[in-house]
Structure 1
Amino acid sequence: MLRSKTFVKKTRSGGIRKIVREHYLRDDIWCGSELCTECKQESTVLLKDACIESSLCTFPHYLIPDTNVVLHQIDVLEDPQLRNVIILQTVLQEVRHRSAPVYKRLKDLIHEQEKHVYTFTNEHHRETYVEREPGESANDRNDRAIRVAVDWYNHHLENTESDGLKVVLITNDQGNKEKAEEGGLLVYKCEEYVKSLLANPELVDRLALTNDNKNDISSSKVLFPEHFPLARIQAGIKGGTFLQGTYRASRDNYLEATVLLQGLQNLNRAIHQDVVAVQLLPREQWVAPSSIVLQDEREAKDEETTEEEEKEQAMKNIADDAARKPTGRVVGIIKRNWRPFCGMLNSSLIKESTRHLFTPADRRVPRIRIETRQASSLADQRIMVAIDGWPRHSRYPNGHFVRSLGAAGDKETETEVLLLEHDVPHQDFSQAVLSFLPKMPWSITPEDRAVGVHIADVSHFIRPGNAMDLEASNRGTTVYLCGRLQSLFATLQCGEACFLFVINSKASLTYAEAQLRIDDATMNDDVTSSLRGLNKLAKILKRRRIEKGALTLSSLEVRFHIDSETHDPIDVHTKELMETNSMVEEFMLLANISVAQKIYDEFSECALLRKHPAPPPSNYEILSKAAKSKGLAIHTDSAKALADSLDVAKVDGFPYFNTLLRVLATRCMMQAVYFCSGMDSDFHHYGLASPIYTHFTSPIRRYSDIVVHRLLAVAIGADGTYPDLTDKHKLSLFFKSRGLLNEEGFILFVRKNAIIVLIPKFGLEGTVFFDGKDKTGPKLVFDEEGPTLMVEQHTFKIFDKVKVTISLDDSNIQHQKIRMSLVEPVIPGVSVPVPEVGPLSKKPKLDR
């Protein structure tokens, strides 16, 4: 059956255009139930035995949630107990338009066979389609369509051998509920129904707070300004009175962010990575960025402490005009970045209460109020919590429990938290992905041998658009953890498939083995002679790059030795770089530059390239101050000037100084980015001093390299084109149960109340705090110009050598952390006694 609707629309030129919309209706759409004998369906999803133990619904029943229930209670719908659920086409379409993340989760539910979730195409069924009535809103029409579908299902199944089966509408909309009841439908609010479930009373904890049940959780005092309406925000951004940007909380100070946003009131309920509208404050209200590192070990505070905290923050940031930065306040939230957060219940929870504070693992995210009846069993667990809202009268946002991740401190649990918090895809590969692995036994064909391959040619197996390719593009990169690898691809370790299988290889050597050959004057075989020749050529290439202004910076990389049986880390050391590392790096850089030029010559509008923008002068302030503290000058007019300055920046008797300075220089750099050649005219890579660059040499660990491979394959005629072508958390496990370690380090940054220390041995940075929790700490005098910090009678400066103890502090169950305390210099009342040597001094004999 075809329904058509005709209406006229006025065009921009003033004319009238006739528009006809056609809507196809059918009689042969299946209901999906095993009970049905009328529908001529080939397969069914909804079971005959549809019993869920409920004190409200003691009979077999199917569930139909409306759109808002799906959007806000997806955590509940995902529970295994809720089966035989009907998702209407009306709901599916609305969810798709309103929330991509929820839509993906809903689609996953529909494909999960054990859940028995059926999609009913009510918008194309002749008996369930409804026209929008005059004066009826789109939302009201959709609610009516849902009620019509529920009514149709009840009548459709009433003549079957259903043993009293009914269809239950779940809604949190009071108006929709009342109209459904008037129509004789069985309808419950989501909270009512979930509380009636007998088999899983803890499911109540997963309920997202609605307007009906969130009002009594917070105080009645208004703590935050009201957010402006979206229309006013849009007009303000267009007119230039408001600024739009992504709010990124400071890692050192959770009450501060840039533009500059500072203090609870001005942050106005923004959460890290929300897109916000900001209004600049008058110049006389601008403040300086805080030099205080907040420890975030305070007890949860009541709402009434907000004004006191604001005044305290303001007093700490009084500064001269030169230090002040443009300061603003959040006037509206344009897009929330709420996601399920990992963390723990607050350690000071009251056992008898159902209301608790949750502390996220990410310190940039505020605590969250939740209701749970499982507090005692969750006290030592890592859990996930989702935010539901943040009323003006609540110091903290409101949320709900999602699921438990496992015991805090457990290696698997902490790894899971790390992956979830950094949004690293780590689910098992699906059968659809695995089906595209090479069938074993696999061997090289004559056609394969006709193409020269000089790196692991993963792109040979990953064809555009198949399931493996789509999964890899979603993952983006391989992630390396201590003792665990989150691969970009499904297991491709199929013998020779990932190795240099077309090259006539004369030797397979590690970096160390190659270096030994180069250094051994008694070895003069062909392989060794070739290595020496390559090494000589690499040094010429490197010298030429440096002459052009390429930077040689420093970032410490650590390596773990893993116990073969327990898979726990047993030793850690900084990675040693040899000449052979540099040799390989030079040829990889040359390959990347050469491929970049080739694909750009062939695809001037769509080559995937990588550039590195030059930092703004302000980025170099901390570097210049650091060098000045040792009587040296750093020139930053160009990459060449910076490179030359770093080369001559040396301090007698302090050989590690130059490395520290290069570490600081790394912090001044901008992030390198991928871009399409047709959308940008500046290709320059600042750090490499190269006019063009891309990523080509690591297709096993970067999806970008796969795309570049495909571009190159087309450019050289080896393949055809296709349309789409054109932190340191793991260290905690290492230091656990090892007592105190006594190590030397260097000061990288000086703050008002702390020093940040780099431990070269472990590549580890940590903070040594000097202010006490009880505000009775040592006398501190901070000079921002230096910057220097006087603690009692001792003055700390950047690059000073210090000795600290390193230990794992697990006293705060909310956040286990690496703790550093000062040993030397010795400051009475501040420094700690020299600890006994830790177990790491006894180096275990390791397999090489």
Structure 2
Amino acid sequence: EVYSAEHGVEVWRLEDYLAEQHPKLVEHFRAIEQATQDGDMDVTAISAGEFAQARLQAKAQGSYAKHYSEGDISDGLRNGTLVRGTIRLRAGGGMRSESQGVIERSDAPDIVVVGRAALNRACSGDTVVVRLLGNSESSVGEAKAADGDDDDADDAADSEDALAVEQIEAGDEAPVVADKANLATAVHGVVVGVVERRWRPYVATLQADVAGGMRHLAVPVDAAVPKIRMHYADTAAIADRYFVVAVDSWEADSQYPQGHFVRALGRIGTLDAEIDTILVERQIAVSQAALGFSEASLREMPVNSAERPWAPSSRDLEGRRDLRDTLIFSIDPRGSQDIDDAVSMRRTRTGFELGVHIADVAQFVQAGSATDAAARARGTTVYLADRRFNMIPEVLSERVCSLRGSSDRLAVSVIWDMDHEYNVERTWFGRSVIRSACEMCYEQAQELLDGQCKVEGLDPKLEPQLATGVKELTTAMRVLRSRRRLGGALELASTEIKFAFDPQTHAVAAAAPKRSLEIHGVIEEAMVFANAAVARRIHESFPTAALLRRHRSPTADRFERLQRAVRARGLDVDCSSNLALAQSLQRIAGEAGDADMAFLVKAMATLAMQEADYFATGDCATEAFAHYGLALEYYTHFTSPIRRYADIVVHRQLLAALQEPSETPKPTELSQAWVGTTAMRLNERNRQSKLAQRESTELFQSRYIAQLSGDGQHVVADGVVAEVRTNGLIVFVPKFGIRGPVHLRDKTGHIRLPLSTLTGRPRDADTHIDGCSDFSADAGRLSIRLPIDAPAFHLGGGANVAFSVFDHVTVLLRVLETRRRRAPVYMTLVSRASSNIRAYRSTLAPLDRTFRVSAARPTADQDAEPAEPKGPSKTTGVQKPGPAKPSPDYYSVLEKFGQLSLLETTHAAQML
């Protein structure tokens, strides 16, 4: 005030200024102020001696080993005693009881890090330096011993939220070692330094200070992320909401990292808040609203309105091949608006002419434009279960670029002249103008293929021509696919769940596995053929800068789980090459006599695969270009430029390849450095998008199960044992596309065998049989000895209950309502059955109540034991699915990711 009076300058206290001018920032200021007062800079509240004693006590409670110095790290890396790599964490998920991390190595066994102390403040995605401990049991003990007892009251307070369904992603978390038997033989390490942090904004919920202070714990929704200490005053405002928190530091004397509150999201459990959480966690956007397009981008859009519908101008048509008189048609999911591709097939004097025609998005998205920058940043259209977020504005994706029926549209075409044996004689690439005769859905095209007359929704006058085109296209694609299969192309498992939504309430009205039709594979094969042809063409012109897509051969150790499982059933699988694997999978499907088993074997093969990825051709040797799953030497993405930025780049490269070298300056897309950087970015964007799709599907699966059980009914479904673990089973439920753990032993070692395994009654699933013993589990079989006073029922008088991989079981599906994370679906075992044997219930003897049982009192510890459900009483039987349709080929696993399902295997397959 004195300064203000003397100098005529208005002076404010910072807090008063913020309160007057920026009231929304006051809480942030107070949090920072509180954090400062709690730190080393302020000791006025207590004496120096008391402060020092408090700091020493805090260090003793949460101490980690200090990281090595830069010099020690450099020396260790040079002499080989230390290893550098990127660590991925899997903390407390599913049936694991300890935090785990893995550092993948292409030229040596992966390194496993077990326990918080061994992880030493490393977070998933960090670049770390690890000291190797060896690969004996003692190394496991060393890592555990260093960990100590670091559980505290904070962990116990929210332990019921620890349940997490097993979610292993191909090329991501699959290498993390789960079972003790594997841990004993793994290469172990301890983190001794963090070279680069990959902290990101985390979505979290609040674990408030019970003493009423401002120091709280943020509990990330990602269970692999540690809790984060933060300061915040108005806890009531965020107590039931998701919020975003950022990490600032993690000192060696702190059990948890220190961070700060960023912003609040919506209320926990509401649909929009759950969707926003997915978008933030997958680093797609800060919210749904942020995925709109900028004014600069919208100003670049062509005019298209009811009064002025867009049509190509004479200038647009210059230099284009006119294909408007050719019978061209599209086949897509019902109701599609963003139609990327159309096809044509006609007889010629010397054989056939096959055409694949792709929307010319590059015509409207110019390199360096605002729209191009937005598309490159997004990388891909994000498809969730109930909505999508476009990569380019809707005026392009759904109208001007979309190859709509009876409309002139600009395209980039690949046209092959083939002989009568479908051997390619000539290939033409270039820009074209087309007029699609018909937009068909898959079901309509399949009816034409099946010979049905008067297909609903099709023009009767056009139907005969369409039927001929579809049938001739199918014949050609059967031949092309057969050739790829002979070369080792894989047919992997892909189960997609289709959701139907109530238009008024947006609740899930129905969910069912997607119907597999032959026509799906026909279109997929045509797209593979075009992608492969374009890949060769752009590599010929730009040998170091072509943007291609490769799928590296998996290492032998990735198939160990698959091989152990099939050997337990007396079968064998040869994983020495893609051709050998394809032949083995086909043989197993025939010998198993069980469609569910055949599917799971393919699913396990899928999990063994590495991710396919984009790359610049100058960044690796030619022999590394190959696509393992598709059995192709060259491959790229060309056929979906409306929804993938990689395809736009490939279009530009193809068009540049077709120009005379002197006609156009070298564009950015022909720079090896730019292509390599873009490829890495697109790999990450695609991966995050697919994880978002998976999590969206999980969200609606959970909501659907909650709806089904909300009227007091049990949701009972048939499942198949996918894996045997040391404390239970992993079960796949085909009806709902869910894969998750069934726990038969808790963290303390107590056996939790449900009484329902003897009675077959869902109401007995939460009553456990006391006195069970001799819990034995290996790679393919789990057995439990019943107490001597237990009735034998249908077990033939034996004392053991046994489960093997690929056995059929019945499970009870429920939703665990949690305070801190999205409610997951979990399973409880109801009854068992040998493979291919369905019913025991009609032969059950009356229950002898003289043997001991105990009501379930689950504890949701790190073993993720299910919480007790709330009061369902009736039973809804879910019928076993009918005979499986023919599996889609690898391309469907690769390309179709609009609607995803299986929590582990389907989404893992989509990662390829």
**Letter of the aligned partner of 1:822 in structure 2?**
L
Q: Which has the larger displacement, 521-530 or 822-831?
A: 822-831
Change (3 A) 1:505 1:429: closer
CA contact (8 A) 2:723 2:780 kept: no
> In the alignment, what sits opposite 1:202?
27
Query: In the aligned structure 1, how far is the partner of 2:88 from the partner of 2:436?
Result: 50
Pair 1:724-2:664 in alignment: no
SS at match of 1:614: coil
Q: What is the deviation of 1:328?
A: 0.8
Q: Which has the larger displacement, 316-325 or 761-770?
A: 316-325
The unaligned stretches of length 5 or more in structure 1 are 1-55, 61-153, 169-187, 291-295, 306-315, 842-848
Pair 1:226-2:66 in alignment: yes
> In the alignment, what sits opposite 2:890?
none
Pair 1:665-2:605 in alignment: yes
> In the alignment, what sits opposite 2:703?
733
Change (3 A) 1:558 1:494: closer
Pair 1:497-2:394 in alignment: no
Which of 489, 498, 502 is matched with 1:550 structurally? 489
> In the alignment, what sits opposite 1:606?
545
Q: Which has the larger displacement, 234-243 or 556-565?
A: 234-243
String of CA shifts for 1:361-408, please: whole Å, max 9, x gaps: 001001122222222332211111122222222222222222211110
Which of 502, 522, 537 is matched with 1:563 structurally? 502
SS at match of 2:650: helix
Which of 736, 745, 761 is matched with 1:762 structurally? 736
> In the alignment, what sits opposite 2:81?
241
Pair 1:281-2:139 in alignment: no
Query: In the aligned structure 1, how far is the partner of 2:481 from the partner of 2:366?
Result: 36
> In the alignment, what sits opposite 1:431?
295
Query: In the aligned structure 2, how far is the partner of 1:583 from the partner of 1:486?
Result: 28
SS at match of 1:533: helix
**Letter of the aligned partner of 2:655 in structure 1?**
A
CA contact (8 A) 1:289 1:324 kept: no
Q: Which has the larger displacement, 352-361 or 249-258?
A: 249-258
Within 5 Å, give how 1:134-213 maps onto structure 2: 164-165=9-10, 199-200=23-24, 201-204=26-29, 207=32, 213=38
> In the alignment, what sits opposite 2:874?
836
Query: In the aligned structure 1, how far is the partner of 2:774 from the partner of 2:228?
Result: 34
Pair 1:300-2:242 in alignment: no
**Letter of the aligned partner of 2:67 in structure 1?**
H
CA contact (8 A) 1:483 1:568 kept: no
Change (3 A) 1:210 1:229: farther
Q: What is the deviation of 1:775?
A: 5.9
Q: What is the deviation of 1:782?
A: 3.9
TM-score normalised by structure 2 residue count? 0.65
String of CA shifts for 1:757-803, please: whole Å, max 9, x gaps: 21112222122223347764435724334353547542222212111
**Letter of the aligned partner of 2:59 in structure 1?**
S
String of CA shifts for 1:620-661, please: whole Å, max 9, x gaps: 001111111221100011100000000010355522211111
Query: In the aligned structure 1, how far is the partner of 2:600 from the partner of 2:300?
Result: 47
Within 5 Å, give how 1:392-791 maps onto structure 2: 392-425=252-285, 427=290, 428-440=292-304, 441=308, 442-449=310-317, 450-452=319-321, 454-491=357-394, 492-493=396-397, 495-499=399-403, 501=409, 502-520=433-451, 522=453, 525-650=464-589, 651=591, 653-681=593-621, 682-717=624-659, 720=664, 722-726=666-670, 727-728=694-695, 729-730=698-699, 731-739=701-709, 740-772=714-746, 776-778=750-752, 779=773, 781-786=775-780, 788=782, 790=784
Change (3 A) 1:595 1:377: same
Change (3 A) 1:631 1:262: same
> In the alignment, what sits opposite 2:100?
256
CA contact (8 A) 1:612 1:673 kept: yes
Change (3 A) 1:237 1:302: farther
Identify the structure with bigger relative contact order (alpha carbons < 8 Å, sequence gap 6+). 2
Q: Which has the larger displacement, 748-757 or 577-586?
A: 748-757
> In the alignment, what sits opposite 2:228?
368
Within 5 Å, give how 1:37-52 maps onto structure 2: none
Q: What is the deviation of 1:720?
A: 4.3
Change (3 A) 1:320 1:807: closer
Change (3 A) 1:405 1:539: same
SS at match of 2:187: coil
Pair 1:325-2:167 in alignment: no
String of CA shifts for 1:656-708, please: whole Å, max 9, x gaps: 21111111110000111111112212111100110110000111111100000
CA contact (8 A) 1:194 1:203 kept: no
String of CA shifts for 1:135-189, please: whole Å, max 9, x gaps: xxxxxxxxxxxxxxxxxxx9xxx8xxxx6246x9xxxxxxxxxxxxxxxxxxx9x
**Letter of the aligned partner of 1:261 in structure 2?**
V
Change (3 A) 1:302 1:413: closer
Pair 1:818-2:825 in alignment: yes
Query: In the aligned structure 2, how far is the partner of 1:805 from the partner of 1:297?
Result: 32
Query: In the aligned structure 2, how far is the partner of 1:695 from the partner of 1:206?
Result: 49
> In the alignment, what sits opposite 2:806?
799
**Letter of the aligned partner of 2:294 in structure 1?**
S
SS at match of 1:220: helix
Query: In the aligned structure 2, how far is the partner of 1:422 from the partner of 1:771?
Result: 33
Q: What is the deviation of 1:507?
A: 2.2
TM-score normalised by structure 1 residue count? 0.70
Change (3 A) 1:241 1:582: same
Query: In the aligned structure 2, how far is the partner of 1:637 from the partner of 1:57?
Result: 85
> In the alignment, what sits opposite 2:251?
391
> In the alignment, what sits opposite 1:265?
117
Query: In the aligned structure 2, how far is the partner of 1:205 from the partner of 1:754?
Result: 49
CA contact (8 A) 2:782 2:803 kept: yes
**Letter of the aligned partner of 1:468 in structure 2?**
T
Q: What is the deviation of 1:553?
A: 0.3
Q: What is the deviation of 1:495?
A: 3.1
SS at match of 1:556: coil
> In the alignment, what sits opposite 1:100?
none
Query: In the aligned structure 2, how far is the partner of 1:416 from the partner of 1:208?
Result: 30
Query: In the aligned structure 2, how far is the partner of 1:299 from the partner of 1:701?
Result: 48
Q: What is the deviation of 1:519?
A: 0.8
Change (3 A) 1:203 1:789: farther
Q: What is the deviation of 1:58?
A: 12
**Letter of the aligned partner of 2:650 in structure 1?**
V
> In the alignment, what sits opposite 2:199?
338
Higher Rg of the two aligned structures: 1
The alignment's C-alpha RMSD in Å is 3.7
**Letter of the aligned partner of 2:131 in structure 1?**
Q
Query: In the aligned structure 1, how far is the partner of 2:2 from the partner of 2:232?
Result: 24
**Letter of the aligned partner of 1:277 in structure 2?**
V
Query: In the aligned structure 2, how far is the partner of 1:59 from the partner of 1:443?
Result: 67
Q: What is the deviation of 1:455?
A: 1.5
**Letter of the aligned partner of 1:257 in structure 2?**
G
SS at match of 2:245: strand
**Letter of the aligned partner of 2:702 in structure 1?**
S
CA contact (8 A) 2:274 2:822 kept: no
SS at match of 1:420: helix
CA contact (8 A) 1:604 1:677 kept: yes
CA contact (8 A) 2:179 2:725 kept: no
CA contact (8 A) 2:28 2:232 kept: no
Query: In the aligned structure 2, how far is the partner of 1:460 from the partner of 1:289?
Result: 61
Q: What is the deviation of 1:840?
A: 9.1
SS at match of 2:439: coil
String of CA shifts for 1:717-760, please: whole Å, max 9, x gaps: 39945431113432333333431421111122222123222111
**Letter of the aligned partner of 1:499 in structure 2?**
L
